[in-house]
Amino acid sequence: MNFEPRPENPFPKYIETYFTRCQAVCPKLRAIAGKWTFEDLIPGLSDFDARLIFADGVTVDEWSSMSIAVGKVHTELAKEVPGWARILEHLPGLNLAVGELTNPRFFYPEFQQWSYYLGDDGTIETIRGYLKEKPWTDRDEFFHLKKFSVYFGPYQRGIDPAVNIGPWESKYPLHSRFMHYFCPPVQSAVSLVRRRGIAGKLDALRQAREIFPNPDVIDMILEAVNRHYEAPEYYAEPRLTQIERQLEAYLRDVYRVLADHVTLIRIDPADEPEDLKAKVAAVQTDPVQRFYEGVKFSRFMKGRLLFYATPIAWFDTRWLIGIELGRIVPNFYTQPLKTFGLIRYKESLSPEQVLSRLEGRELPADICATYRQFAQLAARPLEDGKEKQRAFEVARIFDSVQIVIEALGELLYQELEHRTSK
């Protein structure tokens, strides 16, 4: 096989450029973080899962305007530096104020897996100090059990197409299997054993080597990553299929070990992937946690969709748009409304029933009407060739989504404060 050599690491320049430009258009921006650790960013193959941290007191209108502004920064960089297409796969997914990051009520276990790169030193130290003292709880265990369950089982070919990879596409089969579909469950398994969130994927692999059976599997992966996947012997059949089976067998052995380290479910070594998913789904979780789980990712979705709708010859967005439109209705409409209904009205209501009770009272009727339109439009079947048009149409009415979500979050917060004060 012919491999494009490992490129010079673009991430330091990219992170600095991105943060500087975003800060120029978002005065309340205080810091930039990213999922995992710096060594996990594989040049040429990794994107950058940015997280932006803002000062407290951001209004819903400011979230909307910053979403558009960051979307423009993203678009400009994609046009200026075609070689950053892979890194620029999407806008920052999770964007929070400092007070949200340090409020136990809104804690999200993924916070423990972020690395902070640039920003206000006081802000970063405040967040790091809070997270360092945060004890391990059932919320952490559930988060990592759920993530393990998502990846438990055989690798599904075709699930992770090589999009915007460029000359390194020939290396993507190993990168996808190792870093995207094997490392996450191992990382969560190590977190469950250590009872703390492990931030780095490669660090988790090294720790897994000490904890779980079959260290030779870990050695194979670390060696391949170190070679930037220039291991031609791994790509041809039947070797590639054998590797997939090795990875699946490794996770099954890990699952058996976890029996001594989890409390929320009973692990049976004979469990199949569907058994584990059913057990995790049956765990009773805090409805407040369920409400915030999906809506956290809404604040820059308008800018993300506008970016995807922009024609850029060397940036393919068709598959990316399909992924987003496939999950934004459950995350930003169905789940938050149903969960809010359980908390506020103590009933299992449909999203429409909840919205109807709020309409004209806590929520303006025109906003509710546009919110319904969003749910209908985003859920419609997507025609080939019409992806960018649909992304633009959804983005055009997305402000209503953000208004409703922020309003529900504030109402929920008031409800919880009222209960606490009784």
The pLDDT-based confidence of 415 (bands split at 50, 70, 90) is: confident
Contact 188, 207 (CB under 8 A): no
Q: Helices marked H in 239-397 — which ranges?
A: 239-258, 273-281, 287-295, 301-309, 318-329, 335-345, 351-358, 365-379, 387-396
* Overall average pLDDT of the 311-325 stretch: 96
Task: Name which of 139, 181, 128, 137 is nearest 157 in CA terms.
Answer: 181
> Has residue 419 got a pLDDT over 70?
no
Instruction: State yes or no: pLDDT of 32 exceeds 80.
Output: yes
Both 167 and 77 in one domain: the answer is: no
Domain termination residue (choose one: 119, 134, 149) = 134
pLDDT number for residue 305: 98
Identify whether residues 160 and 275 lie together within a single domain.
yes
User: What pLDDT, on a 0 to 100 scale, did the predictor assign at position 76?
Assistant: 98
- Name the average pLDDT for the chain: 96
How many structural domains compose the chain? 3
- 243 three-state secondary structure: helix
Can you tell me the distance from the alpha carbon of 23 to that of 19, in angstroms, rounded to the nearest whole number?
A: 6
128/144 same-domain check: no
- Check whether residue 10 and residue 81 sit in a common domain: yes
In this predicted structure, the answer to whether residue 416 has a pLDDT above a threshold of 80 is no
**188 and 119, same domain (yes or no):** no
Summarize pLDDT for 249-264 with one digit per residue, the tens.
999 999 999 999 999 9
CB 334 within 8 A of CB 351: yes
| pLDDT score at 418 | 67
Domain that holds residue 44: 1-134
Q: Determine if the peptide bond prior to 185 is cis (ω within 30°).
A: no
pLDDT digits (tens, 9 = 90+) for 164-207: 999 999 999 999 999 999 999 999 999 999 999 999 999 999 99
| pLDDT range class, residue 413, cuts 50, 70, 90 | confident
* Domain match, 303 and 332 both: yes
Residues 156 and 265 occupy one common structural domain: yes
Task: Verify that 261 and 355 share a domain, yes or no.
Answer: no
Confidence at residue 158, expressed as pLDDT on a 0 to 100 scale: 92
The last residue of one of the domains, among 223, 246, 281, is 281
Q: Do both 277 and 149 map to the same domain? A: yes
